[in-house]
């Protein structure tokens, strides 16, 4: 009987320990709530100099220990041979960019474009995310832009 009782007590202790670890894990995930924001823009002309996409920016507050994930999608109406898109945070280029290039250069064509960026080095506080664009000529436009930001 003593052997069975001892095993039962050990089982209860191990179970309680597992339950405690599970609860601790759950509470640590709940402490930093995820937040998300999005903004859209219908149509914007593109210039040969780098400009922000009109009316497309997200201002948000980052908490301590949070990571920011940025996603941008649009359709590029290309009249030029090269259209570039860039993600900026607080007016500083993040290094995230994409380029749409036409090979034949004949006529205007629509191209999908997207950029993803993750940053885990931003200080807590207020930040603004924008997308800028430039082109090798001013005949291009970007349409149906969606900027999505999520903190985790």
59-115 residue pLDDT tens: 999 988 899 999 999 999 887 678 899 999 999 999 999 998 876 666 668 889 999
Rounded Cα distance, 40 and 44, in Å? 11
pLDDT range class, residue 44, cuts 50, 70, 90: confident
- pLDDT of 121 reads 93
- The SS3 of residue 8 is helix
The DSSP result for 11-80, as a single string, is: HHHHHHHHHHHHHHHHHHHHTS--EEEEEEEEEEE--SS-EEEEEEEEEEEEPTT--EEEEEEEEEEESS
- pLDDT of 110 reads 85
- pLDDT of 54 reads 84
**Predicted TM-score (pTM) of this structure:** 0.75
Mean pLDDT computed over every residue of the chain: 82
11-42 residue pLDDT tens: 666 665 655 556 555 555 545 567 899 899 88
Portion of the chain with pLDDT greater than 70, in percent:
74
């Amino acid at each position: 009987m003593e052997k069975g009782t001892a095993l039962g007590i050990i089982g209860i202790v191990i179970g309680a320990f597992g339950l405690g670890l599970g609860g601790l894990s759950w509470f640590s995930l709940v402490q930093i709530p995820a937040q998300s924001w999005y903004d859209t823009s219908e149509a914007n002309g593109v210039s040969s100099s780098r400009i922000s996409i009109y009316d497309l920016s997200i201002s948000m507050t980052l908490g301590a220990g949070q990571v920011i994930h940025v996603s941008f999608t649009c359709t590029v109406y290309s009249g030029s041979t090269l259209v570039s898109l860039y993600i900026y945070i607080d007016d500083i280029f993040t290094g995230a960019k994409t380029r749409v290039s036409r090979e034949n250069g004949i006529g205007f064509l629509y191209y999908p474009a997207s950029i993803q960026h993750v940053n885990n080095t931003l200080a807590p506080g207020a930040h603004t995310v924008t997308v800028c664009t430039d082109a090798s000529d001013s005949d291009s436009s970007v349409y149906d832009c969606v900027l999505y930001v999520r903190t985790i």
